[in-house]
Structure 1
């Protein structure tokens, strides 16, 4: 997601400036398996944008046969690392668009 709106350098700069995207909650349902060396494809959608959080839905597929191996829901927070203050995610991302 971040790579689609920011360059890798800008993401790195954002982290060095003290903004982090902490994980508040992760739910994983395993549907299949992958073994060491398998490539996977991760499809990501934004499920919900709140005041200080974004909820992502991920589906993870084994690349060689496109079998679904996991469904993930992840809530991420935008936060100032120095103060632990939550940031308004809409305001934060608007500054990059």
Structure 2
């Protein structure tokens, strides 16, 4: 049995693995923090789907437009992810 080479996985899926691992470890130490790992996992999976969609939709002739729209979409998803983390933090401080 060979160990899969995770260096060839897209960076978004590496972040998803880290988020899932953080959620699993947080169950051992403090289960309140599972939401941070879950939010990170969702961000990474959605980012990967957006990246795959951009590769599917845009052809090579539209490379400049693809990059601009891709960076905008990734920036928007990053801001949404940060907003989710702040929202989780504000809700956790009330508990």
Task: Give the structure-1-normalised TM-score.
Answer: 0.27
Bigger-Rg structure (1/2): 2
Greater RCO structure (CA 8 Å; 6+ sep): 1
Structure richer in strand, relative to its length = 1
Structure richer in helix, relative to its length = 2
Task: Give the structure-2-normalised TM-score.
Answer: 0.27
